[in-house]
């Protein structure tokens, strides 16, 4: 393979790349979102500066991807933390667990999503929308919400899922020291809200050393939503370089 041919690739293996070189479009992405109050000290221990925390809140999410160009259907779950950066309100992505390796590899390599492999699920059971997350054979999260109890304003639903998102991009060098260490920003674009609902909800988190969602314990359920959308993810933009100690 010639030098110029190598330069045309975005990931390895060269003859069987881990993910498709494209910007995926998400069709019929179904969200279960539960916002809960947690311990402020626990949040301060995991949210990196220069992000700021105003309230001790966490959003637990399960997302069932009905169809994704380049990846196909899959399910994802994780935790996002409301923060501010330079006066802009957004969310810091704390953890994400997927059942699709190409989407996991792409999210980490191309962007900076904190993705790892897990076994999330989203389904309806006896009048309740149920979201679960297993790590290996063990359950680490169970969320339930009344199924389509009350309509949610589509504008409010769109506002919930289009807040700016902040993540850490960390790439080690060959000596183990960080070669890239940046805070990056992205957002969801081209959103079409197809359905939006709210209702009562509950959330249980179970302790696991390799999936420590319960380190941000549930103290009070604040709100819940069930949203079905089409959307696209915007490219990431670096906003703070930890190695240079200055914002870009």
Contact in structure between 92 and 83 (CB atoms under 8 Å): yes
CA distance 15 to 129: 42
HSE (side-chain half, CA atoms, 13 Å) at 16: 0
105 in helix, strand or coil? Answer: helix
CA distance 40 to 138: 27
Instruction: Collect all residues with Cβ–Cβ distance below 8 Å to 82 and sequence separation of at least 6.
Output: 53, 54, 55, 57, 59, 89, 90, 91
Catalytically annotated residues: 115
CA distance 212 to 165: 21
């Amino acid at each position: 393979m010639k030098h110029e041919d190598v330069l045309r690739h975005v990931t390895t293996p060269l003859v069987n790349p881990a993910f498709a070189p494209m910007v995926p479009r998400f069709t019929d992405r179904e969200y279960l979102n539960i916002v809960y109050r947690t311990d402020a000290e626990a949040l301060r221990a995991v949210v990196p500066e220069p992000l700021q925390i105003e309230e001790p809140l966490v959003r637990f999410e399960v997302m069932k991807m009905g169809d994704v160009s380049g990846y196909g259907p899959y399910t994802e779950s994780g935790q996002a933390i409301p923060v501010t950066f330079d006066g802009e309100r957004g969310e810091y992505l704390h953890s994400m667990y997927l059942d699709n390796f190409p989407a996991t590899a792409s999210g980490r390599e191309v962007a900076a999503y904190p993705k790892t492999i897990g076994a999330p699920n989203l389904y309806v059971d006896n009048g309740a929308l149920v979201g679960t997350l297993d790590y290996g054979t063990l359950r680490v999260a169970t969320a339930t919400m009344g199924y389509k109890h009350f309509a949610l304003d589509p504008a409010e639903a769109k506002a919930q899922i289009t807040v700016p998102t902040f993540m850490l991009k960390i790439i080690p060098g060959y000596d183990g020291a960080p070669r890239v260490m940046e805070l990056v920003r992205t957002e969801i674009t081209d959103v079409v809200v197809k359905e939006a609902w709210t209702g009562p909800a509950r959330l249980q988190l179970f302790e696991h050393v390799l999936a420590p969602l319960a380190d941000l314990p549930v103290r009070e359920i604040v709100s819940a939503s069930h949203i079905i959308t089409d959307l696209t993810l915007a490219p990431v933009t670096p906003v703070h370089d930890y190695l240079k100690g200055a914002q870009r």
